[in-house]
Amino acid sequence: MSGTSPGPEHRILVVGAGYVGLTTAACFAHLGHDVICADIDRAKVASLSAGVVPIREADLDRLVAEGIAERRLRFVISAESVAATCDFVFVCMPTPLRADGETELSYLLAALDSVAPRLRPGSVVVTKSTVPVGTAPKIAAALGRTDVALASNPEFLREGSAVADFLSPDRIVIGAEDLSVARRVAALYAGVEAPVILSDPTSAETVKYAANAFLAAKVSFVNALAAVCEAVGADVDTVLAGVGTDHRIGSAYLQPGPGWGGSCLPKDTRALVSVANDAGYVFDLLEGVITVNEQQLDRVVAKVARMVGGEPGTVTDPDAGDGASGSVDLDGVAVAVMGLTFKAGTDDLRGSPALRVAERLGASGARLVAYDPALVNLDDRPDIVSQLPAALDVRGSAFEALHGADVAVVLTEWPEFAALDWERAASEMAAARVVDARNLLDADQLRAAGFAYEGLGRR
């Protein structure tokens, strides 16, 4: 479906052509607005201008091509050169977490500094980046413009479904000190069916952190519950089926796994803990959520050790320095790592629990061979290769990775792994063993194929 404007067309500048910025630009163009997306990466701008999307995301390439063809979307290098022509400026810059637990705002503030002198009087600057609670005054100070309005419009985009999440969201949250400004931003979403929540900027910033922190807590609870099920002899699949039917709880995010990760949840949970501490509140509950997530990574590695007859011991965290008191001994064990991306449907490795488990396996002496459906032809992906441990041997197919392996560990929930011919896999492997850290596989089918199988919390 081509983009048609439901109302007056506005010119929107999106600063940053990363994951959030590119999705925002393409979707606003689809809604009928005139959108300019700016980025300092010349190669990326040239590629996007030719309709080549550098990230794996459903429907995004189609919307970018549509926007370019209908002349509603274009890409430029200099945001300053076009800022004066735009009614709205959406700032979509990265805000990574620093080593000290604070959020890095320098990229966002630099972007604001570059466009501030050029902004059209009466225009609206909208923060789309995830920022710490209380950042709005810093943004106002960085702009230094009393004739420009400010708003916060946090994103709630899930990788793999970002376009659908933008065009069919659960809610649209907009915070501004002047609600008339919030309404102007809300009008840009005309044609999108979703509740619109208007608030002050601080509340809007808190909504984003609170949502991700709650999701992290839900996943950590399920992983801890899986450990309880193993201890008492219950079956986690049955338990969660019973729990998820309660409408107060729901079934979403009730699935054990190797831990939560990605580019948002780890950063946002830690940032909320930091914000709370700075404000004088010790967020013990969320600290526990983070601790359980670290334990889950260790539990998966320990399961691999038990599967090959080793002693679980204390898992070595490659980022922990010399503080570890012991380690799992997997010296020379060939491990087939099935999946490296943080979730299926994306090629993103940022904060991937699968990659963190792989790193711990490698630090424990394992010889790692991996396969991920999104990470093939890596000769053309230096951005991906730079994020992988040097000792990790990535193969082009599942069976190449499984060949000669002493044990396989499923770490990403790719449907391809559930549909794999595991009888053939058993014949390829040195020993038919699998640790299913996603509870993705049919345990009975695997055991019938001769596998020693272990999932999370399954009887």
Alpha carbon 246 to its chain's center:
27
Sequence-ordered alpha helix ranges (H) in 173-312: 179-187, 201-232, 236-244, 265-278, 284-307
Q: How far apart are CA 20 and CA 129, in angstroms?
A: 8
- 11-199 — its CATH code? 3.40.50.720
CATH fold of 290-454 reads Rossmann fold (3.40.50)
Are β-strands 149-152 and 334-338 bridged in parallel, bridged antiparallel, or unpaired? unpaired
> Domain locations in the chain?
11-199, 290-454
pLDDT in tens, 352-400: 999 999 999 999 999 999 999 999 888 888 888 899 988 899 999 999 9
Same fold, 11-199 and 290-454: yes
Looking at the DSSP bridge assignments, the partners of residue 75 are 37
Q: How far apart are CA 276 and CA 268, in angstroms?
A: 12
pLDDT of residue 178: 96
Q: At what angle do helices 19-30 and 60-69 cross, to 10 degrees?
A: 50
Give 173's DSSP letter. Answer: E
Please list the active-site residues.
Answer: 264
Determine the 3-state secondary structure of 355 from DSSP: helix
Give 186's DSSP letter. Answer: H
Q: Which two tokens stand for residue 179?
A: 């609600």
Determine the 3-state secondary structure of 34 from DSSP: strand
- CB 401, CB 418: distance < 8 Å: no
- What is the mean pLDDT for each group of 10 consecutive residues in the chain (459 residues)? 51 96 98 96 95 92 97 95 96 88 89 94 96 92 94 94 96 97 97 96 95 96 97 97 96 95 90 92 97 96 91 50 54 96 92 95 95 90 87 94 98 97 97 98 96 95
Q: Name residue, tokens 């009008």.
A: 187
- CB 204, CB 126: distance < 8 Å: no
- Predicted TM-score (pTM) of the model is 0.88
pLDDT of residue 3: 44
Q: How far apart are CA 129 and CA 101, in angstroms?
A: 17
pLDDT in tens, 246-302: 999 999 999 999 999 988 899 999 999 999 999 999 999 999 999 999 999 999 999
How are the residues of the chain apportioned to helix, strand and coil, as percentages rounded to the nearest 5? Answer: 40, 15, 45
pLDDT of residue 5: 44
pLDDT of residue 17: 96
Residues in the chain: 459
